[in-house]
Structure 1
Amino acid sequence: MRIDQKAVAARAKALPQHVEHLSILITELARFAHPADMVVSRYFRSQPKLGNRDRALIAEASFAFLRRKTEISQFAESGQGPLGRRLALLSLFITMVESGLGSGNRAESALADLAFVVHPGEIDWLQRFGTIERESLAPLTRVNLPEWIWNALGSSVPKDQCLPLAEAMLKAAPLDLRVNTIKAAREELLGVLNDLGGRYAAEPTPYAPNGVRLKGKPALQTQEFFKQGLVEVQDEGSQLLSMLLEPKRGEMVVDFCAGAGGKTLSLGAMMRSSGRLYAFDVSEKRLANLKPRLAKSGLSNVHPVWIDNENDAKVKRLAGKIDRVLVDAPCSGLGTLRRNPDLKWRQSPQSVAELTQKQLSILQSASRLLKPGGRLVYATCSLIYQENQGVVEEFLAANPNFELKDPKEVLRDSFPAMDNLPIGASANSKWWQLFPHLHGTDGFFGAILERKS
């Protein structure tokens, strides 16, 4: 769920009803029975009288709770009154501090904005929370991660990268757009956005050649440039990931796990709407969500195909006929914790173990589609070795007719800007990785595999 940060800033005062709504919402979120964006959306549908600014503040504070649940929950034990109220107050306080409301000392400004909400004894309590030195917190409290994820990061990235990475994932992600080059150029779209000003003010993304990063998080659905399909919401990392496949005009290409089609549309634009691009997915609902986006994209080369599983007969009929395949595999999503902080509390070692078996099965099936000399990109939005390098290494051991290609060597001529992109925590790695603390994107992993001629 995207949150209108500008609307949060415009609501400079928290009101008692915000605490009441947030107390109820946090209690529901903490059950972790459903994805957080689904829970928040369902709650707002049950509260039709809430205005947009109220919803923005409540939603942002609820996600602040999920990002920093460990430290919020621990400090809440020291307060008085109902637990739900204590959790709500701390979440609101963090939201206002991080939003930079007011001027001067952020903690003091946040307390002033909570003046209509807090009771006398709660002011000192919140002040104590605001003066805690993060360096003094226990490691798992400071990073707000379950122990198994913290340990998995320790065995997946260099030790000196673990803490900066974990702390970067405690911050909200920016709103990135991909310009649909079938219909517009990036400079043209930047002009439109900056003419609107305010929360629409934008700048080019640092690496993706067609990316735009907004300074706020406005609702886009009412804007003509969005209705006309000039842009799609897509994280810069996801845009770069599509570039790894390097599809050409006139080729046969498969997006094997297309989902709602963000990368499919990106690939179709790179192909200039030529050739044939299959969008496979096991979810009819996700493919249905692609159709309206496809209709306004201006693309005519995309063919959504529902498959029952990775071994569906529709897949087998294309064996040996495809030039390029993207496998953006279902994964734990732990690279997207800035946007989906509930995932760190909803995933488990057992769920990851189940996912890795599914990932390997999908990769094996997708590999059969390729012509000799064809390219397959295996990707996840995970940070864990088990879902990334581990899956690819097991695949390569069983498939000697495939080889791993160095992304810097493969992409240097076609996308010079990619040569200046830090590939990951290790500059010499043949694994393509993006990290929030290094690149300002979601966490992504990619491996370029080629079927030997």
Structure 2
Amino acid sequence: MSDKRVYSDNPRVLAVQTLAKIKNGAYSNLQLNQVINQHKLNEADKRLLTTLVYGVIQHRLTFEYWLEPFIGGKKINPWVRELLYTALFQMEYLDKVPQHAVFNESIEAAKILGHVGTGKFVTAILHNIQRQGLRDIAQIEDPINRLSIEASLPTWLIQELIKQNGEIATREMIESINDAPSQSIRVNTLLATDEDVVTSLETEGFTAIKSVVAAHAYVVSGGHVASSKAYHDGLLTIQDESAMLPVESMQLTADVKQVLDAAAAPGGKATQIAQYIADDAKITALDVHAHKIKLIENNAKRLHVDGKIDARILDARQVHEKIETKFDRILVDAPCSGFGLLRRKPEIRYDKTLEDVQNLSRLQLEILDSVSKSLADNGMIVYSTCTILRQENDDVVTKFVNTHPEFELVPTQTVYNLKADRSEDVLHVYPNDYHTDGFFVATLRKK
């Protein structure tokens, strides 16, 4: 960050400050929400701030490639680099912002966050870019490196995706991951009908389009839905459409009395389960962090399902040792690399390595192994992740079934029968399939 303690409502200054904090480890969505809540911004400035922050994160490797000839070996303050990236993003990706405005605003932001000398440095770089132009990515000879710079994804991830899906499917996937994510909601059917919620949202100026992916789900535009009366009253919750599919596939009936959500925070799926089970049924919702248990409890209370949910601090790998209950259904929405969330959390592409993925796959298998001992006869485990890498998906399920002959993999079912013509029992949802988060769902039945 800039050494100066600066308070400003200038969206470009805020974007640079926010990007610097994200580069130091803050989560993009949380940091952005915090900044928006702390500053008095009109809707246009909120949109610009959000666009700049996500735009720079999504194209960071591209901007590094373009800027390198102008910076050379010079050591510059990290926030100055972020400022130059915001300028590049506006010049190359925002048609409605004229170049002279980009220059003037960027130089002004440099002076606010730094000093006159910083402003002169930024001025010189921007004018050099204007005179010389940006180097052509097509000139990169190695096809993987070229795609890495073009899509701003690490080479190891591109190599894995191509190995697992082929080049054409990978390119189609990559072309969609920098699109703006949709805002989707799930209706709380215990308190309202779909029609009630849609009418309530439309009254406040929102537009709600019925989801083709999940039941009781809508894609909403026209504002921040968490500020709506329907949200405040617990008639809906914010959840990605594909994130609703694991619960749909649990085949919850009135006979299901004991449910375990093994990694439940922040409670989206636990509260969804509560909509499908009987009043006398119980959900045990686990997480290893106390503050995340609080999130589960707060969500359950807002949606008026707290009577069905018992949230506890516990590592899911200790379930069979610490909990005597035999569960009819178990959801393992496993900790994962999160590569299905690249639209929503674009910074994770730079944080994770292949070694991280391999370590996570071992953890996922340990969780599955532990909770399987607490499943009742004829019970079912649904295993899901929000990643698109097979090491954490198919490979984990295959290893589990191979070492647990008492379990069988059965076809994953969803309300709208997604990908009905697929040849495999598991369900892969890629980011480009329905413009949702990427997700994986497998259903395991105890024989």
Normalised TM-score (structure 1): 0.81
CA distance in structure 1 between the aligned counterparts of 2:133 and 2:338, rounded to whole angstroms: 30
Residue 27 (1) aligns with residue 20 (2): yes
| 2:197 is equivalent to residue 225 of structure 1 | no
Once the 2 structures are TM-superposed, how far is the Cα of residue 130 of structure 1 from its aligned partner?
9.8
Partner of 2:352: 347
1:317 paired to 2:324: yes
Call closer, same or farther: CA 1:273–1:235 in 2, change over 3 Å. Answer: farther
Residue 259 (structure 1) aligned with residue 265 (structure 2): yes
Name the residue aligned to 2:208: 202
Tell me, what secondary structure is at the counterpart of 1:155?
Answer: helix
Quote the residue 2:81 is aligned against: 83
SS in 2 for 1:212: strand
Q: Secondary structure at 1:310's aligned position in 2?
A: helix
Match of 1:147 in 2: 155
Corresponding residue to 1:215 among 210, 221, 228: 221
State the 1:277 CA deviation: 1.4
**Which ranges in structure 2 are unaligned for 5 or more consecutive residues?**
1-7, 108-122
Separation (CA, whole Å) in 2 of partners of 1:128 and 1:225:
53
Structure-2 separation of matches of 1:187 and 1:21: 39
Question: What amino acid is aligned across from residue 86 of structure 1 in structure 2?
Answer: L
Q: Distance in 2 between matches of 1:298 and 1:20?
A: 41
Secondary structure of the corresponding residue to residue 225 of structure 2: coil
1:348 shift after superposition: 1.0
Q: Is the 8 A contact 1:256 1:327 kept in 2?
A: yes
Q: Which amino acid aligns with 1:369?
A: S
Matches of 2:130 and 2:269, distance apart in 1:
44
Question: 2:62: which partner in 1?
Answer: 71
Aligned-residue CA RMSD (Å) = 3.1
Pair 1:188-2:196 in alignment: yes
Equivalent pairs counted in the alignment come to 411
Q: Which of 409, 428, 432 is the aligned partner of 2:427?
A: 432
Is the 1:179–1:232 Cα contact (8 Å) retained in structure 2? yes
What's the CA shift string for 1:153-185, capped at 9, x where partnerless?
A: 123324321011112111121100000000111
CA 1:391–1:85: 2 relative to 1, 3 Å: same
CA distance in structure 2 between the aligned counterparts of 1:169 and 1:354, rounded to whole angstroms: 25
| Counterpart residue type for residue 301 of structure 1 | K
Change (3 A) 1:312 1:239: closer
Does the Cα contact within 8 Å between 1:208 and 1:239 map onto a contact in 2? Answer: yes
Residues 263 and 286, structure 2, Cα contact 8 Å, conserved in 1: yes
Asked if 1:244 corresponds to 2:216, the answer is no
CA displacement at 1:59 relative to structure 2: 3.2
Aligned equivalent of 1:59, options 27, 50, 64: 50
8 A Cα contact 2:320 2:373, kept in partner? no
Superposed, 1:265-284 pairs within 5 Å as 265-284=271-290
Residue number among 405, 408, 413 corresponding to 1:403 in the alignment: 408
Tell me the residue number matched to 2:117.
Answer: none
The offset of 1:309, in angstroms, is 4.7
Per-residue CA shift, 1:228-267, capped at 9, x if unaligned?
1000000000112210112112411111111111000011
Aligned in 2, Cα 1:41/1:235: closer, same or farther, shift over 3 Å?
closer
Q: CA deviation at 1:278?
A: 1.3
- Maintained 8 Å contact 1:255/1:278: yes
Which of the residues 164, 169, 180 maps onto 2:177?
Answer: 169
Q: Is 1:293 the counterpart of 2:288 in the alignment?
A: no
CA contact (8 A) 1:327 1:363 kept: yes
How far apart, CA to CA, are the structure 2 residues paired with 1:387 and 1:433? Answer: 12
Structure 1 unpaired stretches of 5+: 1-14, 98-106
Residue number among 417, 422, 442 corresponding to 1:447 in the alignment: 442
Matched residue, 1:304: 311
SS in 1 for 2:318: coil
* C-alpha deviation, 1:371, in angstroms: 1.5
In the alignment, is the contact (CA less than 8 A) between 2:262 and 2:316 conserved in 1? no
Pair 1:404–1:84, CA change in 2 (3 A)? closer
- What residue number does 1:178 align with? 186
Does the alignment pair 1:36 with 2:28? yes
- Deviation per residue, 1:132-168 (Å, 9 max, x gap): 7989992111221101111121233243210111121
Give the C-alpha shift of residue 389 in structure 1.
0.7
Q: Is the 8 A contact 2:18 2:35 kept in 1?
A: yes
Residue 422 of structure 1, aligned match among 419, 424, 428: 419
Compared CA separation, residues 250 and 384, structure 1 to 2 (3 A): same
> Quick one: structure 1 residues 298 and 173, their matched pair in 2 at CA, closer, same or farther if it must change by over 3 Å?
same
SS for the counterpart of 1:170 is: coil
Deviation (angstroms), 1:50? 5.8
**How far apart, in 1, do the equivalents of 2:283 and 2:90 lie?**
46
What is the distance in 1 between the residues matched to 2:132 and 2:308? 59
- SS of 1:264's equivalent in the other structure is helix
* Structure 1 residues 230 and 38: CA distance shift in structure 2, 3 A: closer
Is the 1:182–1:272 Cα contact (8 Å) retained in structure 2?
no
For 1:241 and 1:126, locate their aligned partners in 2 and report how far apart those are by CA, in whole Å. 50
Tell me the percent identity: 22
CA separation of 1:313 and 1:436: change in aligned 2, threshold 3 A: closer
Question: Whole-Å Cα distance in 2 between the matches of residues 202 and 436 of structure 1?
Answer: 21
Q: Distance in 2 between matches of 1:242 and 1:309?
A: 18
Quick one: distance in 2 between partners of 1:242 and 1:329?
Answer: 13
Q: Which amino acid aligns with 2:217?
A: G
Partner deviation per Cα, 1:172-217 (whole Å, 9 max, x = no partner): 21100000000111122112222322xx21211112120011124x
- Report the CA distance shift for 1:118/1:125 in structure 2 as closer, same or farther (over 3 A): farther
Give the SS at the match of 1:77: helix
Q: Is the 8 A contact 1:434 1:443 kept in 2?
A: yes
